[in-house]
């Protein structure tokens, strides 16, 4: 008797011999593990933030100036950091994509070395660099630009420098992925047609790189929202970000309900930023498809 492998009438047991182990048993440990140690803690936070079903903590967060200021400050710093990071990442990624093999190698190494050094150590290095007797101040004084050390550490500027440094690799990689697929002959074509470099860039290259810009901006922004180590080490308590406030509620104030509510707010803000990313990507795809039809 001969049976085709694809014969559906074949008994299930005989079929089983030809299938890899069933998906259920492979995936179940991961789902169970994450359900217990990842999803449950997050749900627990939601539960703690709503004692007896009362939304009092949320009301407090959205009506007290202190909390609103911290949320506002978190947005402000994240936005500045995102703009600066993407602006610096753009030419860097461009050089990686179109600057030749040697440039690609050197720039990739420069990008990946800090990527592999822990966030904590890099914040530590920035403390050393930015302190009053640090390299940056020494350099500025030696160059005659300033005559007295300027205060860089424990200021918003210090936090921004540290955060840009950490987020830069995350912003460069999506930009590079998009840019290396852009055909530079399109720019040549635009210049042959009489467009200036700037006009060609604005009308041809930049629109093509837009998906990369969007991806890196959203990645930088969502990561920036949750930063804790860098602002705690390089910033002053006055310019606190939301993550530090959450930690403070659990460590110092021992107000778990309020801390949990703040954590839920941060989680929702992060999810919203990602939702925005999905929507923006869908809009771009639609634009491209419509162009393709035209």
User: Using CB under 8 A, which of the segments 176-184, 208-216, 240-248, 281-289 binds other proteins?
Assistant: 240-248
Alpha-helical segments (H) within the chain = 12-16, 23-34, 40-49, 56-63, 65-98, 101-116, 119-130, 135-142, 156-179, 185-192, 197-200, 206-225, 229-234, 242-251, 256-293
For 235, list phi and psi in degrees, rounded to 5.
Answer: -100, 175
For other proteins, the binding residue among 50, 80, 88, 276 (CB under 8 A) is 88
Q: Which is nearer to other proteins, 278 or 287 (CB)?
A: 278
CA dihedral 240, 243, 248, 249 (to 10 degrees): 120
Q: Which is nearer to other proteins, 67 or 92 (CB)?
A: 92
Q: Which is nearer to other proteins, 116 or 290 (CB)?
A: 116
Q: To the nearest whole angstrom, how small is the minimum distance from the Cβ of residue 68 to other proteins?
A: 19
Q: Are 212 and 175 in contact (CB under 8 A)?
A: yes
Q: To the nearest whole angstrom, how small is the minimum distance from the Cβ of residue 24 to other proteins?
A: 8
Tell me which residues in 30-59 interact with other proteins (CB under 8 A). Answer: 30-31, 33-34, 37-42, 44-45, 48
Instruction: Say how many residues touch other proteins, by CB under 8 A.
Output: 78
Q: Are 132 and 149 in contact (CB under 8 A)?
A: yes
Q: Which is nearer to other proteins, 282 or 287 (CB)?
A: 282
Task: Write the interaction track for other proteins spanning residues 256-285; mark x where CB under 8 A is met and - where it is not.
Answer: x--xx--x--xx--x---x-----------
The count of other CB atoms within 10 Å of the CB of residue 228 is: 14
Q: To the nearest whole angstrom, how small is the minimum distance from the Cβ of residue 22 to other proteins?
A: 8
The rounded distance, in Å, linking the Cα atoms of 172 and 128 is: 26
Q: Which is nearer to other proteins, 164 or 178 (CB)?
A: 164
Q: To the nearest whole angstrom, how small is the minimum distance from the Cβ of residue 173 to other proteins?
A: 13
- Cβ neighbors of 212 (< 8 A, separation 6 or more) are 93, 174, 175, 176, 177, 178, 179
Tell me which residues in 97-116 interact with other proteins (CB under 8 A). Answer: 99, 103, 106-107, 110-114, 116
Tell me which residues in 144-183 interact with other proteins (CB under 8 A). Answer: 165, 168-169
CA 186 remoteness from chain centre: 31
For other proteins, the binding residue among 11, 29, 100, 292 (CB under 8 A) is 29
Q: Are 209 and 267 in contact (CB under 8 A)?
A: no
């Amino acid at each position: 008797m001969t049976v085709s492998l694809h014969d559906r009438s074949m008994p299930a047991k005989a079929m089983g011999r030809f299938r890899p182990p069933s998906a259920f048993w492979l995936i179940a440990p991961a789902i169970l593990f994450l359900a217990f140690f990842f999803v449950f803690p997050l749900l627990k936070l939601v539960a703690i933030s709503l004692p007896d079903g009362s939304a009092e903590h949320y009301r407090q967060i959205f009506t007290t100036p202190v909390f609103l200021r911290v949320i506002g400050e978190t947005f402000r710093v994240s936005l500045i950091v995102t703009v600066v990071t993407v602006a610096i990442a753009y030419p860097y990624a461009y050089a990686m994509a179109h600057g030749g093999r040697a440039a690609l190698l050197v720039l990739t190494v420069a990008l990946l070395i800090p990527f592999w050094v822990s966030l904590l150590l890099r914040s530590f290095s920035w403390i050393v660099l930015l302190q009053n007797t640090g390299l940056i101040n020494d350099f500025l004084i030696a160059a005659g630009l300033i005559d007295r050390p300027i205060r860089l550490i424990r200021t918003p500027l210090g936090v921004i420098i540290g955060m840009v440094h950490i987020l830069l690799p995350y912003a460069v990689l999506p930009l590079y992925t998009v840019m290396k697929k852009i055909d530079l002959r399109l720019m040549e074509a635009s210049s042959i047609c009489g467009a200036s470099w700037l006009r060609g860039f604005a009308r041809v290259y930049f629109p093509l790189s837009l998906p990369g810009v969007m991806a890196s901006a959203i990645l930088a922004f969502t990561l920036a929202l949750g930063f804790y180590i860098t602002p705690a080490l390089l910033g002053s308590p006055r310019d606190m970000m939301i993550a530090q406030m959450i930690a403070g509620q659990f460590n110092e104030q021992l107000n778990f309900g309020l801390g949990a509510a703040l954590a839920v707010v941060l989680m929702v803000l992060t999810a919203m930023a990602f939702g925005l990313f999905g929507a923006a990507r869908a809009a771009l795809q639609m634009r491209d498809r419509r162009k393709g039809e035209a």
